[in-house]
Amino acid sequence: MKTIVELYNDDNRRPEVMERAGEILKKGGLVAFPTETVYGLGGDALNPEASARIYAAKGRPSDNPLIVHIADMEALKVLASEVPEKARLLADRFWPGPLTMIMPKSDAVPYATTGGLDTVAIRMPSHPTAYELIRSSGVYIAAPSANTSGRPSPTTAQHVYEDLNGRIDMIIDSGKVDIGLESTIVDLTGEIPTILRPGYITKEMLEEAVGPVTIDKAILADHEDPNLRPKAPGMKYKHYAPKGDLVIVEGKKQAVAETINHLTKMDAEAGLKTAVIASDENLSLYDADCKINIGSREHEESIAANLYEVLREMDEMGVQKMYSESFAGGGLGAAIMNRLLKAAGHHVIRVSADRPAHPRSSARWRWRGRCPR
């Protein structure tokens, strides 16, 4: 299969691009497109064969639900058998935008799209290209992130091409996305809304709109617990992972820096290529040859926007061992730490302020500065 790549942005909005993409979707084909969060891999949500092609292209298990993208509230009447009042309140506040809501599915939605569940995940994206694609195609678009399953999610069309060239019909290139982390997912099938995946829309923001909101225990855990199974799309299996080993080091900043410096020195002596992921505020504390400035703790949006690009850059450089600082668990920090923990396979070293950990064996700012290839 030859994958077509089409540029579509404010300076180049050719109607024939949307016409061609719409025809592909209507015939059961796959189109990758930008949203405000990450690039999505789209297929006709009501066509079980299209959903099967999405799973096959990504190498994604077919029991992992897909999110259905819509362009108007009328779509809920088709996709959901019941629309809770809190769903309408949240839609009024956050749609279009980076919020996915889970509701009871209608008979129109095939189990191939919902991963065999009786619920459906729905969101209305705010990115103009995504909106135009849904509108012009007349298709409700099922779309997980447009990457090979388990890899860092794509924030540019180039990332999509690297993973899926030859596996999908078309990529629409509208440049780098804004947010860089997947949407918040909230389950509305119970009495109290439950966050199944943290994202840009935080627990505090949701509670301002609908009152008390809980968080799924499976995403609160900082280690893999076989008794806790995430229920959200994209959260059930290992995800967001670079090819090298990622370790998170948590504690007071000086102790964290001393521990990471010790570990990278040991790794370098063992002949391993290493790198450190650090905030703008702490970058100077590290001695590693490769130091990646992921963004500012004062502006967590910059960290979210850079995270997946940084992980992919590590792969391009052939980094074998990487160490990352941890980040605050509230607000957007909860989403950042959730993705980092998944990427690291929950490998965390905790250090005290007075006793840095010195294991006997090693386990868009200026982020390209000191990383030899």
- What percent of the chain shows pLDDT beyond 70? 89
pLDDT of residue 225: 55
Please check the confidence at residue 237 and state whether its pLDDT lies above 80. no
pLDDT digits (tens, 9 = 90+) for 310-360: 999 999 999 999 999 999 878 899 999 999 999 999 999 999 865 555 554
Please check the confidence at residue 141 and state whether its pLDDT lies above 90. yes
Please check the confidence at residue 224 and state whether its pLDDT lies above 60. no
pLDDT of residue 369: 45
Helix or strand (DSSP H, E) at 93: helix 85-94
Chain centroid to CA 353: 32
- Is the dihedral angle over the CA atoms 189, 191, 193, 196 positive or is it negative? negative
pLDDT digits (tens, 9 = 90+) for 29-83: 999 999 999 999 999 999 999 999 999 999 988 889 999 999 999 999 999 999 9
Chain centroid to CA 97: 15
- What percent of the chain shows pLDDT beyond 90? 83
Considering the entire predicted model, what is its pTM? 0.91
Overall fold of domain 245-350 = Rossmann fold (3.40.50)
Helix or strand (DSSP H, E) at 141: strand 141-142
pLDDT of residue 230: 47
The CATH number for 4-220, chosen from 3.30.1330.50, 3.40.50.720, 3.40.50.300, 3.90.870.10, is 3.90.870.10
The arrangement of strands across the sheet holding 141-142 comes to 4-7, 170-173, 31-34, 39-44, 141-142, 67-69, 119-123, 99-104, 184-187, 194-197, 214-215
Q: Please enumerate in sequence order all residues whose Cβ is within 8 A of that of 16, keeping only pairs 6 or more positions apart, or say none.
A: none
Q: How confident is the model at residue 281 (pLDDT cuts 50, 70, 90)?
A: very high
Mean of all residue pLDDT scores within the chain: 91
Helix (H, G, I), strand (E, B) or coil at 249: strand
- Domain parsing of the chain, residue ranges: 4-220, 245-350
Average pLDDT over residues 159-166: 97
116 with 63: CB under 8 angstroms?
yes
How far CA 264 is from CA of 4, 140, 267, 271, 288, in Å, comes to: 42, 48, 5, 10, 6
Q: How many residues does the chain have?
A: 373
Helix (H, G, I), strand (E, B) or coil at 195: strand
Beta-ladder partners of 154:
none
